[in-house]
Amino acid sequence: MPDSAPIERPLGPQEALFAELIRRANGAIQMTCIAELAEPAPAATVLRGLKALHHRHPMLRARIVERDQLSWCCDVPWTDIPVRRESMGPDFDISLFYADEVDAVLDLGRRSWRAVLVSDAADRVTWLALTVNHAAIDGRSALVVLNDLDRFLDDENAFPSTFLPLLPPVEQALAGAIPDGDQSFELSVPPDSMWTVAEPAPSSARRPHGFLRTFPAEAMERLHDRLHAGGIHLAAAFCAAAVRAGRAFPGHTGWTQILAPTDIRRDCRPPIPDDAVGEFVSVIPLTIEPAQQDADMAALADVLNTQLSDRRPLALRLAPEYRLADTWAQTDDIAAAHDVFSGGLCVTDVGDLQRLSGRPTGFSRVMLMPAQKHGIHPIMVAVVTAAAGACLTFGYAEPLTARETAEAYADRYLAALMELTDRR
């Protein structure tokens, strides 16, 4: 398949901020997605699939050029995408693998992604890692890429030879999406909700870490049944578990602030297609007050379920314009050492691979996490549901958060989720 003709457009405000966080803050928000193939696939077939997806999606061909403003230029040939090969030995450690991958910063002026194929002794791919520019490829888009690759592995003729279009920035696509009256909604952030860091450090001294825990498929079924009976979304349960687990942090106060990323494709006019790859995420701010901290898990989930609905209009209020100088100033402030985490916990229900695909997929586990070198959150939880169950990636940065604290948080988080599966 030949490369398409170059296509360009300016970066939107969120894309510019995310790109500059990578370029000016040591890869602060660069993202790595690592997926386990339930059935190992020949390396040559996986390579053909990645090449087909590179041609299919303009953001996989994107690089950033600087003229009067930052712009996407979607002209990167497949031959310029690094694809590394590794053998999976008995000591393969997915956490160490993630830390090395996400810490090696992409040159966004040359490309938006790279890949690693981890193969067994028969040269069959067992794990696939994609490291991406978060300004071009968000978490849901990474699942789109995995789903497309899975479709290709099932049928190499799954995709036509045509290219998908380059879509406008999400801020432009959101025009008119906020109902009348919602513009006046404001949210105050109590200073006590900003927890202290374990040890302040600038972005250049922050080291990203992440580890994967799996909430089994049968437990997920019980959780879904109980929540469905109460009209509560899974995202609320995942946020409620974060509240309970937050007690593991030495800097915990009587407040818990959570930022919940949400996909806003269908809020756009016209809606952004489900098979598009780009940056289509905004965040919903949530707050649990001191008087609510001791509520049981079901009550916490109910409170957060209401907040997710009531505060969702805040996620649609993205500014349509920006000054690059202001973006630089914001990025440089984020990169500096601070005594507190400004954004609280982050919890994102990225999606259910099989539900998004409409069919069973060939990935058993998925680890997905942006580098947490931005220092905004003490820890982030990213949830991807795959064949093995809910794959929970816990991401943090040392020395801002200690490893022991992150592991204690994960233990409490899983226990809190299990509490919600109780049918009593």
Give me the CATH number covering residue 110: 3.30.559.10
- 210 and 116: one domain? no
pLDDT at 424: 47
Q: What is the mean pLDDT of residues 261-286?
A: 95
**Cα four-point dihedral sign 378, 279, 134, 370:** positive
The answer as to whether 248 is a domain residue is: yes
Indicate whether 139 and 190 sit together in one domain.
no
Using the predicted structure, report yes or no on whether residue 201 has a pLDDT greater than 90: yes
Same domain, 28 and 59: yes
Give the C-alpha separation, 130 to 267, whole Å. 28
**Residue environment code for 22-41, b if the CB has 16+ CB neighbours within 10 A, otherwise e:** bbbbbbbbbbbbbbbbbebb
3 inside domain:
no
CA 51 to CA 45: how far, in whole Å?
Answer: 10
The model's pLDDT over 144-175, given as tens digits with 9 standing for 90+, comes to 999 999 999 999 988 877 789 999 999 999 98
What is the pLDDT confidence band of residue 1, given thresholds at 50, 70 and 90? very low
Whole-number average pLDDT of the chain: 92
State whether 125 and 205 are in the same domain: no
* Residues 150 and 227 grouped into a single domain: no
Domain identity same for 59 and 124:
yes
Same domain, 147 and 203: no
Domain end marker among 170, 194, 224: 170
CA distances (Å), 398 to each of 112, 160, 249, in order? 26, 45, 14
For 256-272, the pLDDT digits (tens) are: 999 999 999 999 989 99
* C-alpha triplet 383, 387, 392: angle, nearest 5°: 20
Which structural domain, as residue segments, surrounds residue 35? 8-157+166-170
**Are both 132 and 215 inside the same structural domain?**
no
- Both 144 and 185 in one domain: the answer is no
Q: What pLDDT shows up at residue 423? A: 53
Question: Is 2 inside any structural domain?
Answer: no
Domain count, the chain: 2
Kindly state whether residues 139 and 240 are assigned to the same domain: no
Q: Give the residue among 221, 197, 172, 154 at the shortest CA–CA distance from 387.
A: 221
Task: Clarify whether residues 348 and 212 are in a common domain.
Answer: yes
pTM: 0.95
Q: Which two tokens mark 247?
A: 């007690």
With a pLDDT cut of 70, the percent of the chain lying above it is 96
Of 170, 199, 220, the position where a domain reaches its end is 170
352, containing H or E segment: strand 345-352
Give 318-353 pLDDT, tens digit per residue.
988 999 999 999 999 999 999 999 999 999 999 999
φ, ψ dihedrals at 295, nearest 5°:
-65, 155
- The CA-atom distances, in angstroms, between 108 and each of 18, 62, 74, 78, 323 are 11, 9, 12, 15, 20
Task: Please check whether residues 149 and 207 belong to one and the same domain.
Answer: no
Per the DSSP assignment, residues forming a β-bridge with 211 are 394
1 falls within a domain: no
DSSP 92-151: --HHHHHHHHHHS---TTT-SEEEEEEE-TTSEEEEEEEEE-TTT--HHHHHHHHHHHHH
**Cα 247 → chain centroid:** 24
Instruction: Retrieve residue 189's tokens.
Output: 């952030």
Domain boundary among the residues 146, 170, 194 is at 170
Cα 77 to Cα 1, 63, 65, 110, 401, distances in angstroms: 11, 11, 16, 10, 39
